[in-house]
């Protein structure tokens, strides 16, 4: 009898999750739904709390992944409702969780591929107290934007650039996000807002201190950020259309539904800047509805607009290079500094020796540093990494047996010479070290000109409209050349 009751309960929960209904859930309904998803699909879902809001509501996360994920699987996070009066993200993220779970259970190829290749951590609401004050249908400036201490959580994070502007103790919701990020090595993230229709990427903080003028402020990973933002806008139902929010003064400023944060308007203490500067995590700020708090009859339409874009966004977690750092055959190395030559961002390997760096297709120099050893490895990031990711495991012990590199080692025709080691470069070796670096800088310059995606001019993967224009331009160019060869003196 007990078994029958258990089975009936499981079926009831499964049916309640399977028939997802769009409406705004209050905070306790939201947390109940997350718990139900975990109970009925415990092999795919795990629910945990990252802390509490000012009014003691649990900030609950649902983590989704296939049952067979292993070491090297990247972690991605999605955060909704940081501004309490912008709640579309709450419901979109719940629907996404439901879609991935039910898709996995029914054998849907895309849902299975996603959950077998990444951990998706979903925090539907970061500001439950603000949401409790907000009013459905308030499109511009309704109550509930801030938390219960009247603080704007997207102005509350520490800032590398202007630490003195963010010296106050952070809010409990902010602290919860910061602790969460020290616990999990998130590679990428999205935070969902409302009030515009745009994919916004860091930096949000002004380049020139005190400046109010909109001004592009790029990170060194601007190429990757732009690719992710363009892809979201293209895959979304309407984002790339500048006429979408007719009452907005800003929509015409956006570049096909994307913008650099500071180029739109600048401010200090954003969550996106914190993700990048403190953790090397690439976070997009997704503004997903012209109205901040659209009516619940519009939720189905918004899901249909965003479903493809959200699924496509998650796949970027496989883009770039990943692997495990070892020291000897089985011993993983934690806290090895992994970086891309020419970019300041340093990624530290996890306790399991894992590292991930998101990169567009192209050639790069990967640097790994630990125990006063430095390894350089030339890598080529492939074009379709979701099906064929670049996995590069490196062994510091083997590398120790290698000779010192010579500048000629960095010639392009000697791509596959393996790892290069530089052990505690001393004064005697300084000259050689300089030469090697000069060779590497020249190599990077050549790559920038000839081989790599150019940040401003060439199209990105997924940027189909730009790619079509590029192909058309190339075709016209060839026709013009043939014509001039035949007919011009």
Active-site positions? Answer: 287
CA-to-CA separations, 403 to 406, 409, 476, in angstroms, rounded: 9, 11, 50
Q: At what angle do helices 88-105 and 109-117 cross, to 10 degrees?
A: 100
Instruction: Between 152 and 255, name the residue whose CB sits nearer to Zn ion.
Output: 152
Tokens of 447: 């790559």
Half-sphere exposure at residue 272, Cβ-oriented, CA atoms within 13 angstroms: 25
Nearer to Zn ion, 72 or 87 (CB): 87
Taking the complex as a whole, how short is the minimal distance between the CB of residue 87 and Zn ion, in angstroms? 11
The interface with Zn ion within residues 94-123 (CB under 5 A) comprises: none
d(CA 163, CA 179): 19
> Which one of the spans 51-59, 82-90, 129-137, 208-216 is the region binding Zn ion (CB under 5 A)?
82-90
> On the CB side of 190, how many CA atoms lie within 13 Å of its CA?
30
CB 355 within 8 A of CB 333: no
CB 134 within 8 A of CB 27: no
Q: Is 86 in the site for Zn ion (CB under 5 A)?
A: yes
Q: How far is the CB of 273 from Zn ion (least distance, A)?
A: 15
Q: For residue 90, state whether it binds Zn ion (rule: CB under 5 A).
A: no
Binding part of the chain for Zn ion, among 86-94, 157-165, 243-251, 396-404 by CB under 5 A, reads 86-94
Q: Residue 455 burial (CB < 10 Å; 0-12/13-18/19+)?
A: middle
417 vs 301, 377, 408, 441, CA distance in Å? 54, 9, 11, 19
- Should residue 83 be labelled a site residue for Zn ion when binding is judged by CB under 5 A? yes
Farthest-apart Cα atoms in the chain, separation: 95
Eight-state DSSP code of residue 197: E
Residue number with CB closer to Zn ion (83 or 363): 83
Segment 375 to 434, residues that bind Zn ion, using CB under 5 A = none
Count of helix runs (H) and strand runs (E) in the chain? 13, 17
CA 209/CA 166 separation, integer angstroms = 14
Q: Which is nearer to Zn ion, 41 or 193 (CB)?
A: 193
Which of 98/133 has CB closer to Zn ion?
Answer: 133
Q: In the complex, what is the shortest distance from the CB of residue 245 to Zn ion, in angstroms, rounded to a whole number?
A: 14
Size of the site for Zn ion (CB under 5 A): 3
CB of 215 to Zn ion, least distance (A): 21
Rg (CA), the chain: 24
Spell out a b/e string for 413-436, using b for 16 or more CB atoms within 10 Å of the CB, else e.
eeeeeebbbbeeeeeeeeeebeeb
> Which one of the spans 54-62, 189-197, 332-340, 479-487 is the region binding Zn ion (CB under 5 A)?
189-197
| Shortest CB 270 distance to Zn ion, Å | 10
Q: Which residue is nearest to Zn ion (CB)?
A: 193
Question: Interhelix angle for 88-105 vs 299-315, to 10°?
Answer: 60
CB of 52 to Zn ion, least distance (A): 21
- Smallest gap from residue 297 Cβ to Zn ion (A): 22
Tokens 């192209």 -> residue: 362
Nearer residue to Zn ion within complex by CB, 86 or 223: 86
Q: Which stretch binds Zn ion (CB under 5 A): 66-74, 112-120, 158-166, 185-193?
A: 185-193
Residue with smaller CB distance to Zn ion, 117 or 193: 193
Per CB under 5 A, the segment of 79-87, 180-188, 224-232, 430-438 that binds Zn ion is 79-87
Residue 204 binds Zn ion (CB under 5 A): no
* Nearest to Zn ion of 17, 82 (CB atom): 82
Stretch that binds Zn ion, among 132-140, 188-196, 305-313, 444-452 (CB under 5 A): 188-196
Nearer to Zn ion, 118 or 288 (CB): 288
Give the residue, chosen from 90, 121, 193, 374, that forms a contact with Zn ion under the rule CB under 5 A: 193
Length of the chain: 489
As measured in angstroms, the least distance from the Cβ of 195 to Zn ion is 6
**At closest approach, how far in Å is the CB of 174 from Zn ion?**
15
Cα separation values, 423 from 378, 380, 405, Å: 19, 25, 11
30: which residues sit within 8 A by CB, 6+ positions away?
60, 90, 94, 124, 125, 128
CA 181/CA 364 separation, integer angstroms = 27
3-class secondary-structure state, position 131: helix
Burial class (CB in 10 A: 0-12, 13-18, 19+), 197: buried
Rounded distance, CA 70 to CA 322, Å?
A: 13
Binding region for Zn ion (CB under 5 A) out of 56-64, 110-118, 187-195, 311-319: 187-195
Binding site for Zn ion (CB under 5 A): 83, 86, 193
């Amino acid at each position: 009898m007990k078994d029958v009751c258990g089975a009936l309960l499981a079926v009831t929960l499964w049916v309640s999750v399977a028939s997802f209904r769009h409406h705004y859930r209050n905070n306790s309904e939201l947390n109940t739904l997350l718990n139900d998803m975990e109970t009925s699909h415990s092999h795919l879902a795990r629910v945990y709390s990252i802390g509490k809001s000012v009014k003691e509501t649990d900030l609950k996360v649902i983590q989704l992944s296939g049952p067979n994920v292993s070491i090297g699987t990247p972690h991605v996070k999605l955060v909704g409702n940081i501004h309490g009066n912008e709640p579309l993200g709450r419901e979109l993220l719940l629907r996404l969780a439901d879609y991935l779970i039910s898709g996995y259970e029914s054998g849907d190829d895309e849902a299975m591929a996603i959950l077998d290749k990444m951990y998706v951590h979903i925090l539907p609401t970061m500001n439950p107290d603000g949401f409790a004050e907000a009013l459905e249908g308030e499109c511009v400036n309704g109550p509930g934007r801030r938390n219960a201490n009247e603080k704007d959580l997207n102005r509350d994070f520490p800032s590398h650039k202007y630490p003195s502007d963010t010296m106050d103790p952070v809010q409990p919701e902010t602290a919860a996000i910061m602790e969460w990020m020290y616990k999990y090595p998130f590679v990428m993230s999205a935070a969902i807002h409302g009030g515009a229709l745009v994919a916004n990427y860091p930096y949000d903080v002004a380049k020139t201190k005190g400046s109010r003028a909109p001004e592009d402020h790029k990170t060194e990973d601007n190429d990757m950020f732009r690719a992710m933002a363009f892809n979201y806008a293209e895959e979304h139902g309407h984002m790339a259309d500048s006429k979408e929010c007719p009452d907005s003064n800003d929509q015409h400023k956006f570049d096909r539904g994307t913008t650099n944060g500071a180029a739109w308007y600048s401010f200090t203490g954003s969550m996106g800047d914190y993700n990048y500067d403190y953790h090397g995590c690439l976070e997009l700020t997704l503004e997903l509805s012209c109205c901040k708090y659209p009516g619940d009859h519009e939720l189905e339409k918004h899901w249909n607009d965003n479903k493809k874009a959200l699924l496509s966004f998650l796949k970027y977690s496989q883009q770039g290079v990943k692997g495990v750092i070892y020291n000897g055959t089985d011993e993983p190395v934690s806290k090895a500094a992994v970086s891309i030559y020419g970019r300041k961002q340093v990624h530290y390997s996890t306790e399991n020796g894992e590292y991930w760096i998101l990169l567009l297709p192209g050639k790069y120099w990967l640097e790994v540093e630990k125990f006063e050893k430095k390894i350089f490895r030339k890598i080529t990031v492939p074009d379709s990494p979701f099906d064929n990711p670049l996995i590069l495991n490196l062994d510091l012990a083997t590398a120790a047996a290698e000779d010192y590199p010579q500048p000629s080692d960095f010639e392009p025709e000697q791509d596959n010479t393996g790892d290069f080691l530089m052990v505690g470069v001393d004064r005697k070796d300084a000259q050689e070290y300089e030469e090697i670096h000069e060779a590497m800088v020249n190599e990077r310059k050549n790559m920038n000109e000839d081989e790599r995606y150019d940040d401003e001019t060439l199209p990105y993967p997924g940027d189909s409209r730009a790619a079509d224009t590029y192909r058309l331009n190339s075709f016209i160019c060839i026709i013009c050349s043939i014509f001039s060869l035949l007919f011009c003196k």
